C-alpha cells in the first residue's frame, strides 16, 4: 500500500509493508532457496499460479521490500533490484533492444555506461551520441531502428541537467521510451517519472545506500509508455501484458536469466540507508553549495557546480532540482600536478572512486575513471587533465571549507 505524504515521511512509511514476525525492518532472507510442504505447492509457484519465493535469483522478500520502497519514492508501477548500477543499465537496455536496435544517448555519460554502450556494439546494438539531448539533436538522430533515448538527469561529472519534460515530449512523439539514470539526482531532487520519463535506473551504491557499504542497482518502470510490439520486437512475447510488458520481460527474462540479482544483505543495507536520504541530501547539497561558493573566491581555480551563477545549467537546474545543486562539484586546478597536490593535502576528503557517500570523497577522474577513454570522450564528459571531482559528504561545512581552501592555497 502506498501512502500519500511528504518526502521524508514517505522514506519511512511510503511502502507500508508488514513483515512476518512484525519486524520493524524487513528481515534479511539470507538464503539461496525457499522450501515447500509439497511438490504441488512449489509447482504452483513456478507456474506463477501462487505467490511465493523459490530461489533468490528469481525473487526474495528482502529484495522485494527494497524494490517497493524505491518504487514508492519514484512513483512507478514496479521496480527490479540488480546486483549493481551497471547491471540495472544493462538489463534495461537488453530488455528493450535487440540486434539491429539503436539507442540515442547524451554524450558525457558515466564512464561505465559509455564502455557498456561500446560493448553492446558487438551484440548489434548501436548507440548514437548527441552532444546534448535537445529536440533538434534527437530528431536528427532518430531512425526507424531507434528503440530508446538514454540520459543522466545530472551527468557525472560533467554536471549537465536533462530537461525531462521537453525531451520526453520529443521521444513520445516518435514512439520511443525515454530512460533516465537518476543516480546523482536521487528521488529527493527529482522524480523523473512524474515529469515524463518512462524508466528510471539508479546505481543504489551511491546516494540511495549512502553509507558506502553495498553495491546495487534498481530499475523503476513508470508504466505509462505505450509499447509498439511490432517495433519493440524484444518485448513482443509480452504483448498480452500491455503496459506491464517491460517489467515482465525484465523480471522473467533478463533479470532472471542473466542472473544480475541483488544480494539480500545489500538490499537490507540499502533499505536502511535510503531511509535517511532526505536528511543526507539536504545536508550534502547545503555543504556542496557552501564549498563551491567558497572555492569560487580562489581566483586560480575554476569551479563547476550547479548553483553557481556562472554555471551554464544553473537556471535549468533550479527549475528541475527544486533549487538544489546535488552532491558533486568539480574544479580545474590548472595542471594535473596541482590537482594531485591539492588532493593529497586534504585532511578530511578520502581519495576514492565513489560518489554519494556520507564521507567527502575526491578523485582525479582523468587518471582513474577515464583512463580507458579517448581525450574527446573525456572532454565531452567534462573531464580535463586538471579536473578534481568532489563528492561532498555530510561533515561540518566549515571543516570542509577550511580544508579545501587551505589545500588550494598551499598548492600555489
Ligand X SMILES: *Cc1c(COP(=O)(O)O)cnc(C)c1O
Region from 131-139, 171-179, 201-209, 277-285 binding ligand X, contact rule CB under 6 A? 201-209
107 binds ligand X (CB under 6 A): no
Taking the mean position of all CA atoms in its chain, how far away is CA 258?
Answer: 20
Pattern 173-192, ligand X, x by CB under 6 A? --------x-xx--------
Residue 273 near ligand X by CB under 6 A: no
Segment lying near ligand X (by CB under 6 A), choices 46-54, 73-81, 203-211, 244-252: 203-211
Site for ligand X in 336-375 (CB under 6 A): 355
Residue nearest to ligand X (CB): 85
Q: Nearer to ligand X by C-beta: 206 or 311?
A: 206
Of 217, 222, 278, 327, which one interacts with ligand X (CB under 6 A)?
217
| Shorter beta-carbon distance to ligand X: residue 177 or 217 | 217
203 binding ligand X? (CB under 6 A): yes
Which of residues 45 and 378 has its CB atom nearest to ligand X in the complex? Answer: 378
Helices 61-74/264-274 angle, 10° precision:
30
Name which position in 10, 160, 191, 206 contacts ligand X (CB under 6 A). Answer: 206
Work out whether 92 is an interface residue with ligand X (CB under 6 A): no
Angle at 262 between CA 21 and CA 219, to 5 degrees: 105
Residues in binding contact with ligand X, number by CB under 6 A: 17
Q: Decide: is 91 part of the binding site for ligand X (CB under 6 A).
A: no
Cβ of residue 297: shortest distance to ligand X, in angstroms? 29
Which one of the spans 13-21, 80-88, 130-138, 228-236 is the region binding ligand X (CB under 6 A)?
A: 80-88
Specify the residue, 82 or 235, whose C-beta has the smaller distance to ligand X.
Answer: 82
Q: Which is nearer to ligand X, 217 or 382 (CB)?
A: 217
Please identify which residue in 107, 113, 270, 360 interacts with ligand X, judged by CB under 6 A.
113
Residues near ligand X (CB under 6 A): 84-86, 110, 112-113, 152, 156, 181, 183-184, 203, 205-206, 215, 217, 355
Amino acid at each position: 500500500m502506498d501512502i500519500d505524504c511528504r518526502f521524508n515521511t514517505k522514506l519511512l512509511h511510503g511502502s507500508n509493508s508488514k513483515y512476518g514476525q512484525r519486524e520493524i525492518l524487513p528481515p534479511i532472507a539470507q538464503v539461496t532457496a525457499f522450501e515447500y510442504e509439497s511438490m504441488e505447492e512449489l509447482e504452483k509457484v513456478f507456474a506463477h499460479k501462487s505467490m511465493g519465493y523459490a530461489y533468490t535469483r528469481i525473487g526474495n522478500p528482502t529484495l522485494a521490500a527494497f524494490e517497493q520502497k524505491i518504487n514508492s519514492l519514484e512513483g512507478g508501477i514496479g521496480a527490479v533490484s540488480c546486483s549493481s548500477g551497471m547491471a540495472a543499465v544493462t538489463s534495461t537496455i537488453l530488455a528493450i533492444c535487440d540486434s539491429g536496435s539503436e539507442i540515442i544517448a547524451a554524450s558525457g555519460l558515466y564512464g561505465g555506461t559509455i564502455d557498456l554502450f561500446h560493448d553492446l556494439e558487438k551484440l548489434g546494438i548501436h548507440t548514437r551520441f548527441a552532444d546534448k539531448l535537445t529536440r533538434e539533436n534527437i530528431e536528427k538522430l532518430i531512425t526507424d531502428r531507434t528503440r530508446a533515448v538514454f540520459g543522466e538527469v545530472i551527468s557525472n561529472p560533467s554536471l549537465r541537467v536533462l530537461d525531462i519534460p521537453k525531451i520526453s515530449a520529443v521521444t513520445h512523439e516518435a514512439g520511443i521510451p525515454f530512460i533516465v539514470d537518476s543516480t546523482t539526482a536521487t528521488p529527493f531532487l527529482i522524480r523523473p517519472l512524474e515529469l515524463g520519463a518512462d524508466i528510471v535506473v539508479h546505481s543504489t551504491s551511491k546516494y540511495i545506500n549512502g553509507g558506502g557499504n553495498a553495491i546495487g542497482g534498481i530499475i523503476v518502470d513508470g508504466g505509462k509508455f505505450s509499447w509498439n510490439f511490432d517495433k519493440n520486437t524484444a518485448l513482443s512475447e509480452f504483448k498480452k501484458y500491455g503496459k506491464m510488458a517491460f517489467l515482465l520481460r525484465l523480471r522473467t527474462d533478463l533479470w532472471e536469466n542473466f542472473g544480475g540479482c541483488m544480494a539480500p544483505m545489500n538490499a537490507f543495507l540499502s533499505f536502511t540507508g535510503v531511509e535517511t536520504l532526505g536528511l543526507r541530501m539536504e545536508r550534502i547539497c547545503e555543504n556542496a553549495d557552501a564549498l563551491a561558493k567558497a572555492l569560487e573566491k580562489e581566483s586560480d581555480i575554476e569551479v563547476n557546480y550547479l548553483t553557481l551563477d556562472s554555471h551554464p545549467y544553473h537556471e535549468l537546474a533550479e527549475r528541475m532540482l527544486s533549487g538544489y545543486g546535488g552532491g558533486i562539484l568539480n574544479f580545474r586546478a590548472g595542471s594535473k600536478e596541482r590537482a594531485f597536490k591539492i588532493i593529497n593535502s586534504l585532511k578530511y576528503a578520502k581519495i576514492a572512486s565513489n560518489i554519494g557517500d556520507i564521507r567527502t570523497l575526491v578523485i582525479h577522474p582523468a587518471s582513474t575513471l577515464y583512463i580507458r577513454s579517448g581525450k574527446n570522450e573525456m572532454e565531452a564528459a567534462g573531464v580535463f587533465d586538471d579536473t578534481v571531482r568532489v563528492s561532498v559528504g555530510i561533515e561540518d561545512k566549515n571543516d570542509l571549507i577550511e580544508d579545501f581552501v587551505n589545500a588550494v592555497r598551499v598548492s600555489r
